[in-house]
Amino acid sequence: MSKVVISTADAPAAIGPYVQATKAGNFLFTSGQIPLDPKTNSLVTGDIKAQAHQSCRNLIAILKEAGYDASDVIKTTCFIKNMNDFVAFNEVYAEYFGASAPARSCVEVARLPKDVLCEVELVAYKD
């Protein structure tokens, strides 16, 4: 199985020893995306909705670069800082992934990189 690194300027560059995504065969595995604006490399400030939008936009940009779209997503893992934001996070998440509804885990965590409110990663598959 071939392994290809996926990279796009339309999503933030990695801030550590990892890549934005790796394509292995027909699968695409993304690294977690936090609400960094790829044009300025600065954090999107605001509430969970503003941060969730940016995290999801980053994922969509990576999917597009790899030749995938939201309908190809089979699993997401969502990390949120406060489970009280679950409903608001879901409202935003549904705008990007609701139509194709992949399997998902969503967990509250004590802390995320750069103290953001959310981080999302995904696995996609395309024939």
pLDDT in tens, 22-63: 999 999 999 999 999 999 999 999 999 999 999 999 999 999
23: CATH: 3.30.1330.40
Angstrom CA distances, 2 to 15, 24, 31, stand at 25, 6, 18
Range of the domain at 108: 3-125
- The angle formed by the CA atoms of residues 120, 56 and 116, to the nearest 5 degrees, is 55
- Nearest one of 3, 2, 1, 123 to 63, comparing CA atoms: 123
What's the pTM? Answer: 0.97
Instruction: Look up 106 and say whether it is catalytic.
Output: yes
Catalytic residue among 56, 78, 106, 118: 106
Rounded Cα distance, 41 and 57, in Å: 14
Pair of tokens at residue 74: 């089979």
pLDDT in tens, 78-102: 999 999 999 999 999 999 999 889 9
Structural domains counted in the chain: 1
Pair of tokens at residue 53: 């939008």
